[in-house]
Amino acid sequence: MGNLKLKIVLTAVMLVFAIVPAVIVGAIGTFSVMGYERSAKDNTLQQVGESKSAGIKQAFKSYSSIVGAIAKSEAAVDVAHGMGSADAELEAAVAADPDILDMMILDDSGTVIEAVNGSEGGVFENLPMNDQGVINMPSVSEMLNWTSYGDAIFVADPIPSDNASGEAGYVVAIVSAGPDSAVMKALSGQFVNLSGASFMIVDKNGVAVNYKQGGSINKEFAGSALQSDIAQFFDTSNSGYSDLKNSKDIKSIKGSAGGSTYFVGLAGTDVMNWRWVASADNAAFSQFSTTTNLLGWVVVVASAVVFSIASLLVIGRFLGNMNGMLKTMTKISEADGSTDIRFKVTNRSSELGEIQTSFNELLDEVFLSEERHRTIAELSDNMLFEWDFHKERMYASKNMLAKFDIDTDSATLSNGKFIDSLMSQDDAEKYKRDMNGLLKNKSGYSAEYQLKTKSGAVIWVSLRAVCITDRLGEPLRVIGVMTDIDNEKKLELQLSERASYDFLSQLYNRNTFIRNLTSEIERRGTKRVAVSFIDVDDFKFINDRYGHTIGDEVIRFVADTIRTKVDDRGGFAGRFGGDEFVLCFTNQDDIANIENISMDIINELYEGYTTADGAMHIDVKASIGVAFCPEHTEDVNELLSFADTAMYFVKKNGKTNYHIYIPEDSATDEYIDPEGF
């Protein structure tokens, strides 16, 4: 009986969900379709206007670049100072661009002193250039015969003077803005019929510098009331002037006379501070409005129908499959403990009451399972964490929270508030890459990181994590285990470090030096690398006369001396055994100064070693050979061999000196390298 009542109630709800949405959507759609039409038109007009502004800006940027380049040329500077000729540069500019009608050079008084099309002697009465180096049309002298150029705009750039201030003259381009010009073509296209369009550019003072029909914004033009409609956007004293602030502020204006529509916009502030207006094709506007209106009504009707059908399907399916839902929920409770839903129903014998009971039992199982895992985690030395993608919740074991400063309430896997907040920047970036790889590959990974503990100590940890997915392969959870490996890792690093250094000199041993030298050569790019091979002269005599203990002290003295030449400068030092030492230079200034550095080493060693008790002073001498990469070779073994050969050359020619390897060194006497390069 209860099930029957529930079905009757749901049937009534189903009818309400089917009818009411259609009525609401229809009513709202009626009021919103008009707004949609306006919004769609405005967006389209803005996109079209921005495109036209960009075209105009690009055209003037090109002209400004041409004029600026000539103004800075040596030929233009010479002409402005009464020397030479710039005919070639001016004629080339006119020939290269059909829109450039003439190119001129003026002196500092505005007189035309050189021009392509014969305007010499004409005078620019004033030279009021705006901020972008453009001379406004009204200031052009009548001597330039304005009518011969038709629709033209003047673009200028000053020629630098020898003085600290002022100009030596100006380079001026007369640029066409007629129907076939690049400026006019930038306006053609959507909504603008170029053959019938009226086009005007207005400078920052509100004066029309170009208009296809003649006249200016300060007078009536085009035989219409266009002036009263758009003057506000060109008159700096009008409140409407500020409505246009950048090239995205495009206005569409319905003219009060003749029903014409106009675009008004900015031509770009990085080339000039001009505004433009162009008449539009009203037939294109009408077709666009009709299409937009029809599309809006189609969307309204379709939305109402789809919403109603969807409501019927959802409610009908829910009503017809209650028993199936109960069975499905029971299966979920047996297989998945992540659901967190409770129904508050007083009649437990109803279908919803049975659902409540099933889910409550499920939640009890989930709670017990979570408690079991928490207990295991707390009894283990390992630190555990878990990220639940569905609940967007982080869990961390108590021992992990006790050791590290982590806020699980705000942390996610890689938002900078989990363990990545305790790492160095490099480790944090590596951790994020590892996590991204884990989620992408949906597998497991392990890595080692350094984390800062609550006490401020930085320790090594080992992290192992796995990604658990659903049956569709989507991530459900990431479970990770962290282990404190600080003692083991530090011991490992100490052993590795000891294996890399020569015990007596504390310089790199042979293998480590060659490995690092190989890396430097591989990543040098276009930079140079230098190697110095240093051999202590007559070291056997020191050992025989003073004993091996003193000999060891001399070895340490030599190591300390040569180490200062590369420490903190990008290079490194090594000992190849006995009394043989090597230096790698990567600092380009040091390499350029390698001869002076070599002499410094020889001189500092020659000052000698004094024992700690001051009882004994020993002169130390050395021979040094130098080889360069890439000049001599890019092979590591050859580079060392060439440096050794250069050192051997010094040995044969008096010792206690340095020598830079030349190919002839290898051809002198055969030299058998005892170290086997």
- SS3 state of residue 309: helix
- Confidence at residue 35, expressed as pLDDT on a 0 to 100 scale: 65
Q: At what angle do helices 282-320 and 2-71 cross, to 10 degrees?
A: 150
| Residue 221 pLDDT > 50 | no
Residue pair 451/458 in contact by the 8 Å Cβ criterion: yes
**Predicted confidence band at 641 (pLDDT cuts at 50, 70, 90)?**
very high
| Residue 115 pLDDT > 70 | yes
Domains in the chain, CATH or no CATH each: 72-176 (3.30.450.20), 324-368 (no CATH), 380-489 (3.30.450.20), 501-666 (3.30.70.270)
Per residue, the 3-state secondary structure of 222-272, as one string, reads CCCCHHHHHHHHCCCCCHHHHHCCCCCCCEEEECCCCCCEEEEEECCCCCC
Top mean pLDDT of 327-341, 474-488, 541-555 is at 541-555
Average pLDDT of the residues in 555-564: 94
Mean pLDDT computed over every residue of the chain? 74
% the chain with pLDDT above 70: 56
Residue pair 208/274 in contact by the 8 Å Cβ criterion: no
Top mean pLDDT of 88-102, 239-253, 485-499, 642-656 is at 642-656
Least confident piece of the model among 42-46, 400-404, 405-409? 42-46
Least confident piece of the model among 49-58, 136-145, 371-380, 506-515? 136-145
For 53, 205, 274, 455, the CA distances from 183, given in Å and listed in that order, are: 10, 21, 13, 69
* DSSP, residue by residue, 398-425: HHHHHHS---TTT--SSSSSSGGGGS-H
- Confidence at residue 209, expressed as pLDDT on a 0 to 100 scale: 54
For 252, 594, 603, 616, 620, the CA distances from 608, given in Å and listed in that order, are: 90, 22, 9, 10, 5
**Predicted confidence band at 409 (pLDDT cuts at 50, 70, 90)?**
confident
Top mean pLDDT of 69-73, 174-178, 359-363 is at 69-73
- Confidence at residue 575, expressed as pLDDT on a 0 to 100 scale: 94
| Residue 616 pLDDT > 80 | yes
**Predicted confidence band at 140 (pLDDT cuts at 50, 70, 90)?**
very low
| Residue 629 pLDDT > 90 | yes
Average pLDDT of the residues in 172-195: 70
Average pLDDT of the residues in 457-469: 89
| Residue 561 pLDDT > 50 | yes
Average pLDDT of the residues in 606-633: 93
pLDDT, tens digit (0-9, with 9 covering 90-100), for 445-458:
888 999 999 989 99
Cα 600 from chain centroid? 46
| Residue 268 pLDDT > 90 | no
**Phi, psi (rounded to 5 degrees) for 246:** -150, 175
Residue count of the chain = 677
The pairing of beta strand 251-254 with beta strand 261-266: antiparallel
**Between 637 and 19, whose confidence is greater?**
637
**Predicted confidence band at 194 (pLDDT cuts at 50, 70, 90)?**
low
Residue pair 88/74 in contact by the 8 Å Cβ criterion: no
Least confident piece of the model among 7-16, 138-147, 151-160, 614-623? 138-147
- Confidence at residue 552, expressed as pLDDT on a 0 to 100 scale: 94
Which residues make Cβ contacts (< 8 Å) with residue 168, sequence separation at least 6?
Answer: 77, 80, 81, 107, 108, 158, 159, 160, 161, 162
Average pLDDT of the residues in 564-571: 88
Rg (CA), the chain: 43
**Between 21 and 647, whose confidence is greater?**
647
| Residue 644 pLDDT > 80 | yes
**Between 365 and 164, whose confidence is greater?**
365
**Between 420 and 184, whose confidence is greater?**
420
CA 525 to CA 501: how far, in whole Å? 28
Residue pair 626/643 in contact by the 8 Å Cβ criterion: yes
**Predicted confidence band at 109 (pLDDT cuts at 50, 70, 90)?**
confident
- Confidence at residue 538, expressed as pLDDT on a 0 to 100 scale: 92
Average pLDDT of the residues in 471-498: 80
- Confidence at residue 658, expressed as pLDDT on a 0 to 100 scale: 96
Q: At what angle do helices 2-71 and 87-96 cross, to 10 degrees?
A: 150
- Confidence at residue 419, expressed as pLDDT on a 0 to 100 scale: 84
**Predicted confidence band at 573 (pLDDT cuts at 50, 70, 90)?**
very high
- Confidence at residue 212, expressed as pLDDT on a 0 to 100 scale: 41
CA 566 to CA 500: how far, in whole Å? 18
CA 584 to CA 315: how far, in whole Å? 79
**Predicted confidence band at 165 (pLDDT cuts at 50, 70, 90)?**
low
**Between 445 and 310, whose confidence is greater?**
445
**Predicted confidence band at 572 (pLDDT cuts at 50, 70, 90)?**
very high
Of 377, 378, 338, the C-alpha closest to 359 is 338
Region for 404 from its dihedrals, namely left if φ exceeds 0, alpha if ψ lies in -120 to 50, beta otherwise: beta
- Confidence at residue 292, expressed as pLDDT on a 0 to 100 scale: 56
- Confidence at residue 3, expressed as pLDDT on a 0 to 100 scale: 46
**Predicted confidence band at 656 (pLDDT cuts at 50, 70, 90)?**
very high
First-to-last CA distance in the chain?
98
- Confidence at residue 214, expressed as pLDDT on a 0 to 100 scale: 38
- Confidence at residue 385, expressed as pLDDT on a 0 to 100 scale: 85
- Confidence at residue 63, expressed as pLDDT on a 0 to 100 scale: 83
**Predicted confidence band at 655 (pLDDT cuts at 50, 70, 90)?**
very high
**Phi, psi (rounded to 5 degrees) for 281:** -85, 105
**Predicted confidence band at 153 (pLDDT cuts at 50, 70, 90)?**
confident
Average pLDDT of the residues in 459-469: 89
| Sheet containing 444-452, strands listed edge to edge, beginning at the edge strand earlier in sequence | 393-396, 383-388, 475-484, 458-469, 444-452
Least confident piece of the model among 216-220, 237-241, 460-464? 216-220
- Confidence at residue 8, expressed as pLDDT on a 0 to 100 scale: 62
pLDDT, tens digit (0-9, with 9 covering 90-100), for 26-53:
667 656 656 666 676 667 767 776 777 7
Tokens in use for 132? 């972008």
